[in-house]
Structure 1
Amino acid sequence: MPTGIPRSQATTRGAAPEADVILDVLVERGALHFVLACEGGHAHGVRVRFSRVIRDLAGQRVNEQPLYTQLAFLAAGRRIPLLIDSLAGYQQRRQPMQFEARLEWRSEDGRRLRRVINHDLAAWTGVREIL
């Protein structure tokens, strides 16, 4: 949790748990997904910015997807996968294997929170399927 307060303490005191937003990578049956997820409390005004231009299988800039540029609310426990491409297709189109995702959101009480996650998709190149 960004504040360092254990979830059990926040809940015990009656306060809503702190929102913690991440952008994860998932390779499932050869398909590459980016997964926007929220743990803890609800997140508001969620924004994701990428250090590099990334295009999906349709050639659209992932950086410009409304999910990443104008998500007003992300509920606690929510995981939203976005299909990017097959991992092989992503590599063949010479898309960035290393990039940084900069996430920003507001907590229930209006505080602005940030996180930077570095991804290296080379780690997934030998993975065929995750069950």
Structure 2
Amino acid sequence: MTELKFTKDHEWLRMEGQVAVIGITDHAQTALGDVVFVDLPEVGREVTAGEAIAVVESVKAASDVYAPITGRVVEVNEALTDDPSKVNAEPTGAGWFFKIEASGALPDDLLDADAYNAFVDSLA
């Protein structure tokens, strides 16, 4: 997980060149419970870091998913439409939500795995 970066809103991102693959963290999917629906953003949408751009619904609650970086949505994980349980099964793998082509530097407030784990521990 060393290549992953995290937000305090429980999103993760992995850079592939100028494109960030983004999803929710294992902590977030565990807290949500069984994911039953994911509302993904439109491809081509321009987003700003911190903007709510997707929704994940579980048997317990619905939560916004935020863009951790500024840029343009270039792909969404259509597989989640048919099988949203991928978010629970592989939150940092097949359960990714969308890809954003970055339009600038990464925000300074992204956390590495150790800092994110310490943040999650502080919530308990």
Q: TM-score, normalised by structure 1?
A: 0.32
- Larger Cα Rg: Structure 1 or Structure 2? 1
